[in-house]
Structure 1
């Protein structure tokens, strides 16, 4: 389960409908580059971006249809298609900081391939935009900000090839991944919600994930959620920060004669490891979790 985020290959990128002409130009180099685009994720953001003429769509619904066609065309032309949330406030700040004209395509290109924001990129694999993909883009922006915070806490040691990581960071990342694995293995099959938090300088670090754990041991979790969980655990262990973890949901499966039970387990850390604890989070009351040392 241990994985480190890697910076993706980048190409010239785009936001919105006027990008189709750019697809053919980029396709000549598709073997070396990824196609990257930004997507407005709400009606409010669509209206806020109107002055920059990112798209000629009349309304947000038309914009989503045009963007879906754009992504489909990009998939046919490129081996890799990536997207991130086009956040109007972030873009405006970026243009102000770098003295760019927000109506220029070059400003959007620089914004979308900004290395500090590449943790917000998600691979696009044909998902329905109005389904789970747009909410994932929104969460990826929030998660990306958290990952940058963690990287600063670790003195720039979070990203990069494993062999180039600080040994202490690499070990803590592996330890965090193993903690998470033991929580899931101990819980058994079911549909769960996982939350963890670490009290860090500059603000609390939080990760949130939905998990399906099948009877055969296969675990389904979005890659970006797994990356964030392991990174939050890693930061807490490296910096010896207090933290907490909560796993709750429906334990069981249809294969077990449809027997399900609602569970909620919690663990806390003083910075060195996680032990069972009683905890309340919102409307969830959690009992002490099982001992992670007893899980293989």
Structure 2
């Protein structure tokens, strides 16, 4: 935990004096947020206990003490940002920065690590035991975003004009996401994605729920962000992969799955056998194959604009964005123009 097993009350009083309570120092800026990394399950707690960071407390006692500290910090007017304290990741972090895992400063630095992508998870006064599942899901999505962002930036390396290409890729992904939501129709549906780089690239996975009611789209929060960044990485890298849309069946109808193949960074409909093959592969991975599922090729999606690919001048070298391209598409796509 943030403050250690024995010194919570005194440090909270001191922290309140330093920050000036709810208003911060008199006449000064508001207090900075406090970051806290939490052991999210008993197994992680046991693994980290060997560093003596929790004292002799049981996991249940640790949760109660941490919750008390969280509420006290919030009562001081401080915004508290939470993240999961993962043993292996924490140990790697400490080794990278030359910190001792038993040092409380190491936990504070890890909790505030800016390398974890996405907006922070803000504590709102909830019971910690009830909040942990949501924190874990949020953490997993932020990890996926971090990994996908790294892959996306790597795909842009070597471009003379990476910023316009990045803008084009992200715009195309937004267009695809909205097209998938519109094509899925009313109700809640699950999008699952698996992508690979063009040459034995790292496998990236993501899943997001998309819901529509009375024509209104409800975005799936951090999971949707992870899905979109992962898809952007596959598109920018000219990668391969699979995208499946799992629709919740209406009464009396079987589950329906539509599929698209990602090939050279472009999405195209799968055949029905390919959809079943992808579902069987998911079943092997432990996802599970629905009983009586119906498969269908994916419906038409917007083609990848030429601006999403590396720019080349007429002589084969790098070219300025927009040079020699109409932006309508790429070779082999409907409405495409050769660059």
User: TM-score, normalised to structure 1's length?
Assistant: 0.76
Aligned partner of 1:153 among 143, 151, 154: 151
Shift of 1:115: 2.3
Shift of 1:229: 0.8
Contact 2:238 2:266 in 1 (8 A): no
Higher relative contact order (CA 8 A, sep 6+): 1
Shift of 1:246: 1.3
Looking at structure 1, the residues matched to 4 and 181 of structure 2 have their Cα atoms a distance apart, in angstroms, of 40
Looking at structure 1, the residues matched to 98 and 105 of structure 2 have their Cα atoms a distance apart, in angstroms, of 12
Contact 1:120 1:137 in 2 (8 A): no
Alpha-carbon spacing, 1:57–1:63, altered in 2? closer, same or farther (3 Å):
farther
Of Structure 1 and Structure 2, which has the larger fraction of its residues in strand? 1
Shift of 1:54: 3.3
Looking at structure 2, the residues matched to 229 and 121 of structure 1 have their Cα atoms a distance apart, in angstroms, of 18
Bigger Cα Rg? 2
Shift of 1:135: 3.2
2:329 equivalent in structure 1: none
Aligned length: 270
1:95 equivalent in structure 2: 94
Instruction: For residues 237-259 of structure 1, give each alpha carbon's deviation from its aligned partner in whole angstroms, at most 9, with x where no partner exists.
Output: 1111112211214156xxxxx78
Alpha-carbon spacing, 1:240–1:118, altered in 2? closer, same or farther (3 Å):
closer
Shift of 1:128: 4.7
Contact 1:268 1:275 in 2 (8 A): yes
Contact 1:120 1:141 in 2 (8 A): no
Identify unmatched segments of 5+ residues in structure 1: 1-12, 159-164, 253-257
Which runs of structure 2 are paired with 1:115-126 in the superposition (5 Å)? 115-119=114-118, 121-126=120-125
Identify unmatched segments of 5+ residues in structure 2: 157-161, 284-288, 304-339
Matched, 1:264 2:263: no
Looking at structure 1, the residues matched to 83 and 228 of structure 2 have their Cα atoms a distance apart, in angstroms, of 21
SS at match of 1:116: coil
Looking at structure 2, the residues matched to 211 and 15 of structure 1 have their Cα atoms a distance apart, in angstroms, of 40
C-alpha RMSD of matched pairs (Å)? 3.4
Shift of 1:267: 1.5
